[in-house]
Amino acid sequence: MRQWRHLTRRPGRRLGGLLAAAPAAFIFAQAADAASGELYKSTAGHAFRIAEVAVGLKNPWAVAFLPDGAMLVTERDGRLRLIRGGKLEKEPVAGAPKVVARGQGGLLDVVPHPQFASNGLIYLSYSAAGEGGSNTAVMRARLNGNRLENPQVIFEAQPKTGGNNHYGSRLVFAPDGTLFVTLGDRFTYRDEAQNTANHLGKVIRINDDGSVPKDNPFAGKTGAAPEIYSFGHRNSQGIALRPGTSEIWEHEHGARGGDEVNILKPGANFGWPKITYGIDYSGAIISDKKALPGMEQPVVYWVPSIAPSGMAFYAGDKFPKWKGDLFVGALAKTHLRRLRLNGAKVVEQEELLAGLDERIRDVRSGPDGFLYIVTDDSSNGRVLRLEPAE
């Protein structure tokens, strides 16, 4: 297993003696703002510029693409925004769920149903209040113009707890139509990540209506939450389907060091907090173990932390030298990171866009072959695309 230490480099520089790649961009069918004049270069051989698609957002968390060329963007304070015709609509989408918009909580991920074109369904994850505090919930609703109709809460993580951190909340549909949801350990309840009787520190798998798939690894097991797919996670804010496979990859925040990228496996224990490559924020030792029998090792980990958020495999044709590469946003280290893969091994890494000095909250490979990123700011969060300069 490889360890990659974060090194401060300008965009396009080698990391750890290995070449890395640059992000891609996704030019929407409709026009957007002109690209910035600054030219960025990747060690993989691509040059690109960035263009603003939307600005002035309040802590945007996720972006999703619709078949008609529109885009949905969540703002953590509870607003769902619509970009149509290349412009951000002034009024938010009506009918978004009520959220606990404190700390890391709020309106978080958004994905369309795989058959959105025929059923109009979108799925939202968010922090929901209830007896005992709050926790992650998933709602689905039909998007009709600029409003959500027929909302249904299809999942609520249990138990609800105090505190405003570690909600997880990334969503991805698998090829079989099931929905994967990442759930954080709620920060002060980290030991519960090893307890399969609850949802803290887990990744769950549910059907599109919230019911439990019969082949889930804990379905029918006494005392276990049947939605659980894997456990021993800390706070996962990135999940993606590897194109051409059924592999679901996720990443999660470490504490001080120990951010991880993992390939999910049914019933697998990813070790938190029994094993970790990081230490506590105070400097205290969380565990003196980095490996134990029966616990998975990450594909890659970072010390110090980059604070990963958002993740996408590049599947487009606009930047052919990046095809199949994994892109991860970084909050603490304010860059977009590209990982070149050889099977399940990371063989190259590159920091991109560090010169922006913005927290990158989300990254998505767009349907037109470009890559979008979302920057997290309380007053001027942005949706950006990267345009090839060749």
Contact call for residues 42 and 18 (beta carbons, < 8 A): no
How far apart are the C-alpha atoms of 106 and 308, rounded to whole Å? 18
Phi, psi of 190 (to 5 degrees): -60, -35
Q: Which token pair is 370?
A: 């470009």
How far apart are the C-alpha atoms of 142 and 333, rounded to whole Å? 37
Q: Which helix or strand (DSSP H or E) is residue 231 part of?
A: strand 228-231
Other residues' Cβ atoms within 10 Å of the Cβ of residue 38: 12
Q: Give the alpha-carbon dihedral of 135, 140, 146, 149, to 10 degrees.
A: -110
List strands edge to edge, sheet with 308-313: 308-313, 326-330, 335-342, 345-352
| 249 burial level (CB within 10 Å; 0-12, 13-18, 19+) | buried
Active-site residue numbers? 166
Q: Which helix or strand (DSSP H or E) is residue 119 part of?
A: helix 116-119
| Per-residue buried b or exposed e for 63-74, using 16+ beta carbons within 10 Å of the residue's own CB | bbbbeeebbbbb
Bridge partners, 40 (sequence order):
48
| Per-residue buried b or exposed e for 142-179, using 16+ beta carbons within 10 Å of the residue's own CB | bbeeeebeeeeebbebbbbbebbebbbbbbbbbeeebb
Residue with tokens 């099977």: 343
